[in-house]
Structure 1
Amino acid sequence: MKKKVLIYNGQLFMGGIEKVLTRYLHALSLQEDLEIELLIKENDPEKNVLYKELPKNLKCTFIKSRKMVNFREKMSSKRKNIFYNIIYQIMREIEKIQMKIFLKSFFQKNDDIDVVIDFDMSLGKYLDKIKTSKKIGWFHYSIAAKKGKKRERRRERLKGYDKLVTICDEMTEELREIYPAEIEKVIRLYNPLDIDEVKTTSQDMKNLNNEEKNLIKEKYLIGVSRLVHGKGREDLIKIYAKLKVLGIKEKLYILGEGPEKEKLEKLIEELGLKKEVFLLGQKSNPYVWMRNASLFLHPSYGEGFGLVLAESMVCGTPVIAYDCPTGPKEILEDGKSGGLVNVGDIEKFTELVYETLKNPKSLENYMKNSKNRVLDFSIEKIIKQFIEMLK
């Protein structure tokens, strides 16, 4: 008899968590003894861009109607007006009530579900509505990031899970320190990589337009992330400005979209780097850009795991990153498989990038060690651990 597994996530946006989820779903859909179903909170076709990448045989249910999501977003965009802000707040409360009603009804109708996986860790407040044999919560971000009342609220909610997944050892140690009573529930599962797929995709240039083909022929450094403050894109541009003073010839390409874009454009103009630094937006195939770069630079102030570092390593491009919580130190083996710099130290980061570019042996060592390290993140290895967790 097949084991029935329900996986919950808030949305299917083009985000790190969602990309990892999609990768898991494809691997799990091949398991003959599992029946996988997906439960998604937000029905937003425009933003749920990864919906089309789900396995075709996967059943997917949305909690909130498209009409409700659109109306709430419309009210949210007008929140500066007190009238619309009141409507927005009322909508939020209605959605919480609707969520409780939906989950209670859903699990009454589907009482044969064996395992529920709260993939984005947002079902904690509703666990009493979920009547099933096993509930698994999944951490994707630094556990230490939550402080005060939020941390204590989580302490109570964690009691409702049977197992807890962390995505790196550093995160496990955070949990041990902050929530010691829950440590026996913990399983560490690295975010998985389809290594063969990344390698193949990184060589696929057929969808590049002429302008992109010309750009990719240049020598360049690269950064890939959402354009948000925590990802350190401002630091990246400042680091590059210092590298230009030192005389490097490489350009800087930044892939990704986000609310910081306008601010970054102004910084690029202020530093006189419009001909050297390019904000290229979100790319459907970032791997081809990673593969052709000289170095992958990631001065991020915080990660859950930092899978993009491992992806760059698979593409054969060495990484230099801030030693932020959590993930980079573990992925890069404390500097063995890539460069690490203390968070916020722009001077040291600049120095390490410059020295690495000028030292072919250093690049060669990073690349050699990376080839072995990325095998620890292979989907084949991780999926076996995942299936074992379900028992």
Structure 2
Amino acid sequence: MKKKLLFAIDSLDCAGAEKSLVTLLSLLDYTKYSVDLMLFAHETILESLVPKEVTILKPLKYTEYTKLNIKQSLIYTLKNSNYKMLYSRMKYSIGIRKENYRNSQKARVFWQSVSKNIEKNSKYYDVAISYAQGVPTFYIADKVRAKKKFAWVNVSYKLKEQDKTFQKDFYDKYNKIVAVSDTTKEIFLETFPDCSEKVGVIHDINNPDLIVEMANIGESYDDNFTGVKILTIGRLDYQKGYDIALNACERLKENGINFRWYVLGKGPQQKEIEEFIDKNNLTQHFILLGTRSNPYPFIKNADIYVQTSKFEGFGLAIAEARMLNVPVVTTRFDAVYAQMVEGKNGIVVDMNPEAVSDGIMQLINDKELRETIIQYLRGEKKGNIEEVEKFYQLLG
């Protein structure tokens, strides 16, 4: 009999954890496993890449309710005499406006506000897996019945005391906790030292054959620009350090570099970033491309990949750039040396605009260094699909 698995993740937008999950799902043996997938936002960009064997569960009632505009939600409330959803929605909306919350704080406020309106999953699973921290972790802990529960941690999890206290009760309900790098594990255990006996490491899985294949199909840059193409991929938020990137972009422009810095991503800082671009006359230099289900032709055709993150669990986009032999300039976030070899497969710099722009200019001006890095990348081991064996061992 097939083992019944449930995965939960916020959405399948084009980001690291999401791409890692889609890759893992593409490698599973569906003669042995029956797989359900719970999403908290639907119709996102990577859903088309989910294997046909996977059942994407119907949206939660509250998820559907949040799609309604204010007028529609009021009509729904009155028609169904269901005031709880409206109250929860208003409570959450008001709650997150009190401060400039980070994602972990928003997740806590969300669950405190609406969890009573989230229905329980009616099935019983052999294994239920939260593939991201926050809401998926709370959902699997509270709303799902399973023989075993596993929680993935794919960011450097540093929490304020209130969030640490809130989340501890949820992680206590898990049999195993999986970090995506040794550094991520260390930081998680600094936050939750009592979990030391049940934390292990399985790196974000990436399949080089799939990435190379996808890099040769689909759209890429269409502006006929012949200068240096710089690329960054990542959600437009605090974590990815776009304040650093924008100021580094200004310095490159001031130094007369013939470049364009392209960005694949969307997120809460988009308006702020667009305003900075307009105010500082960077419209021809810092170009937001939105998201793409297939970012790999953009990576392949870039001259330099740049990551300005302030923290990462692993840095999957860096791994993808390396697999396509594109030199990397990255900030020195916690887990960076899980994959970067300083001066060999790229350049690791301090977390400030001056260091980032200097690193980029070094790669542009030192052609010998650039070629040495490309040759090193070509010889590097590509991908890590063997990590799927660790996943099978975890399932038992």
TM-score (norm 1): 0.83
Paired position in structure 1 for 2:197: 184
Q: Which moved more, 1:310-319 or 1:214-223?
A: 214-223
Partner of 1:80: none
Letter in 2 for 1:40: L
Residue equivalent to 2:33: 34
C-alpha displacement of 1:374: 5.2
1:387 aligns with 2:396: no
CA displacement at 1:87 relative to structure 2:
6.5
- The answer on whether the counterparts of 1:216 and 1:289 sit within 8 Å (CA) in structure 2 is no
1:116 pairs, out of 93, 108, 128, with 128
- More helix by percentage: 1
Residue 273 (1) aligns with residue 292 (2): no
Structure 1 range deviating more: 196-205 or 126-135: 126-135
Post-superposition shift, 1:126?
6.0
Helix, strand or coil at the partner of 2:46: helix
Closer/same/farther in 2, CA of residues 13 and 285 from structure 1, 3 Å limit:
closer
> How far 1:266 moved relative to its partner?
3.0
> C-alpha displacement at 1:170, in angstroms?
0.4
1:1-391 correspondence runs (5 A): 1-28=1-28, 30-42=29-41, 44-45=42-43, 48-65=44-61, 67-71=64-68, 88-89=89-90, 95-99=114-118, 101-103=119-121, 106=122, 110-111=123-124, 113-121=125-133, 122-124=136-138, 127=141, 130-144=144-158, 146-204=159-217, 207=219, 212-215=221-224, 217-325=226-334, 327-333=335-341, 336-343=344-351, 345-371=352-378, 373=380, 375=382, 377-378=383-384, 380-391=385-396
CA offsets 1:176-218 (integer angstroms, 9 cap, x no match): 333232122122111111211211222335x45xxx4343654
Q: What is the CA RMSD across the aligned residues, in angstroms?
A: 2.8
Amino acid at match of 1:269: D
**SS of residue matched to 2:66:** helix
Distance 1:90 1:320 in 2: 42
Residue pair 1:75, 1:88 contacting (<8 A) in 2 also: no
Look up the equivalent residue of 2:15 and give its one-letter code: G
CA contact (8 A) 2:305 2:326 kept: yes
Q: Distance in 1 between matches of 2:66 and 2:278?
A: 37
| C-alpha distance in structure 1 between counterparts of 2:69 and 2:199, whole Å | 36
SS at match of 1:370: helix
Distance 1:156 1:374, change over 3 A: farther
Distance in 2 between the 1:290 and 1:128 partners? 40
Segments of structure 1 that go 5 or more residues without pairing to the other structure are 77-83
Q: CA deviation at 1:64?
A: 1.0
Answer yes or no: is the 8 Å Cα contact 1:72–1:88 preserved in 2. Answer: no
**Alignment partners' CA distance in 2, 1:279 and 1:125:** 33
Matched residue type, 2:89? Y
Change in Cα spacing, 1:67 to 1:74, as seen in structure 2 (3 Å) is farther
Query: What is the identity, as a one-letter code, of the residue corresponding to 1:60?
Result: I
1:309–1:328 CA contact under 8 A, matched in 2: no
Q: What amino acid maps onto 2:185 in structure 1?
A: T
Tell me the CA shift for residue 129 of structure 1.
5.2
Aligned to 1:79: none
Q: 1:180 to 1:313 in 2, by over 3 A?
A: same
Distance 2:323 2:22 in 1: 19
Residue 286 of structure 1: how far off its partner (Å): 1.9
Counterparts of 2:243 and 2:368, CA distance in 1? 29
- Report SS of the residue matched to 1:150: helix
- Do the aligned partners of residues 154 and 67 (structure 1) sit closer, same or farther apart at CA in structure 2, a change above 3 Å counting? closer
How many Å separate the matches in 2 of 1:159 and 1:311? 34
Residue 294 of structure 1: CA displacement? 1.5
What is the deviation of 1:148?
0.6
CA distance in 2, matches of 1:249, 1:152: 50
Q: Which runs of 5+ in 2 are unaligned?
A: 74-84, 93-109
Measured after TM superposition, the shift of residue 388 of structure 1 is: 1.2
What displacement does 1:63 show? 4.9
Query: How many Å apart are 1:317 and its aligned residue?
Result: 0.8
The CA distance in 2 between the partners of 1:371 and 1:152, in whole Å, is: 46
Distance 1:37 1:299 in 2: 35
* Alignment check: 8 A CA contact 2:227 2:258 kept: no
Q: Secondary structure at the match of 1:222?
A: strand
Match of 1:161, SS?
coil
Deviations 1:251-308 (A, max 9, x none): 2222222333333233233333333332222233322122122211111212232101
Return closer, same or farther for 1:59/1:87 CA change in 2, 3 Å cut-off. closer
Residue-by-residue CA offset, 1:121-151 (whole Å, 9 max, x unaligned): 333476365443211111121122x111211
1:81 aligns with: none
Maintained 8 Å contact 2:66/2:89: no
Aligned residue pair count: 364
**SS at 1:156 equivalent:** helix
